Structure 1
Amino acid sequence: MAQGEKGGRASRVRIWVGLFAVAGGALLVGDPAQRGETALELVGRWWPWTLLALAGLNLLRSAVPVGSLIGPLALGAVGVVGLVAVHGLQAHLVRDQLAPALLVATGAALVLSSDRMGLRTSWTRLLATGDVVVPPSVRCPVTLRAVLGELRADLGEVRGQVEVNVTAIAGHVRLTVPRASTVQVNAQGALLTRLPTRPSEFTRQPHSEGEFTIHVLGVCGAVSIARV
């Protein structure tokens, strides 16, 4: 099953690399020098706004389910068309800036909302905020990573002895475990990272529903644990 998980991850990487290669080839065909220079100019001009938009989207997703973004995005598109029709905005402004911005926001919401469960044992949020529900049949160890983002992992249905590897690099990993469970946090690899109280000791419960051993690798991040 571990080999199948690695194969699935490699397949997804090949798909994304292939999509980027196809898009890049389609952009550069005919006049690669001129179009490549134009693409670099656009990246140099718009990358700060892209990061700000991504940060805003992640903050919004922290409080609002991603599915709730579909309606506002649709209304925003209709509103743009209405502005053009009523106030006579310049067509090139809509074509060159507003329409691509809406397209990017829609695509980002769809990509960030896709969580494939299956036989996964590893979840990562890079420049993103999201929730995952770890299935009861998960194979250990479980790996959770948040890099410049936030990952909220629900382990409330997992029972038995569970080993969890947590990586928080300028990010936040929030774990939810059963209320009647035993938790131990090993934080030897944490640097400038906020951790639960008394991380090196077991929090023992009289009728334990599971035993979680959490290994933390963190740099300027945060790890929190909640019981339900």
Structure 2
Amino acid sequence: MSIKFLAEDDRPREKFLLKGKGSLSDSELLAIIMGSGSRNETAVELARKILASVDNNWHQLSLLSVKDLIKFKGIGEAKAISIATALEIGKRRASQEIPEKPVISNSNDAYQILKNELSDLRTEEFWAVFLNQSNKVLHTSQLTQGGINQSIVDVRILFKIALDHFSTGIIIAHNHPSGNLKPSKEDIDITQKIKEGGALLNIQLLDHLIVTQNSYLSFSDEGLL
């Protein structure tokens, strides 16, 4: 449906979905926060009026109290609290540093990330670490919990997560509760299957770790990839 055919109160949300959050004006963003307008004004019109009262400056708007906000017709306590809350979230976000993503440059780096998840388990689990082009960790995920002897992996889920995070590299890992670091035929087969699937999607399988309580084996280090 085209935006122009929608009621004006619905347009900011629909515009968000169709064109993305960056396409919204300040008044449209504020209208979404408020949710609705007054009897005589749409949410967008009311948002424009509120922003105009502070020279269209978010910093000035954040200085308004709940009592100040409810002076505008159509703004009750609930809407005023929603506005103040959203501005406080923005303030806190601005004050925080972006956390540095860990970088994996070798198998030990990957092991350090995964050993706390896998080393002391009594049953097998299969995990994956998803990386960008700089080998920075984008996401870490447990994919399966298996029985005592095997963990079955759905490769479709693995690559869906990789695509969702725009990953260009994957490190997979599972544990051997028995303490045996030797790869099984199934371990080798699933590694090859994931490697081939990744090649089709331009997502590189960088390593496969087998983790025991005190050590690990790297397929990459052993030349098994």
Q: What TM-score, normalized by structure 1, do the two folds share?
A: 0.29
Larger radius of gyration: 2
Q: Which has the higher strand share?
A: 1
Q: What TM-score, normalized by structure 2, do the two folds share?
A: 0.29
